[in-house]
Amino acid sequence: MTETLMSQAIDLMIAGMGFVFVFLVVLIGATTLMSKLAIKLEPPAPVVPAAPAATPAPMNDPRLMAVITAAVAKYRSRP
Q: What one-character DSSP code corresponds to residue 77?
A: T
Q: Which domain covers residue 8, as residue numbers?
A: 1-43
Task: Give the number of domains in the chain.
Answer: 1
Give residue-wise pLDDT tens across range 9-20.
999 999 999 999
- Structural domain includes residue 24: yes
Percent of the chain with pLDDT over 70: 92
- As a whole number of angstroms, the distance between CA 2 and CA 26 comes to 36
Quick check: is 65 in a domain?
Answer: no
73 part of a folded domain: no
Evaluate whether residue 28 is within a structural domain: yes
Q: Is the pTM of this model over 0.75?
A: no
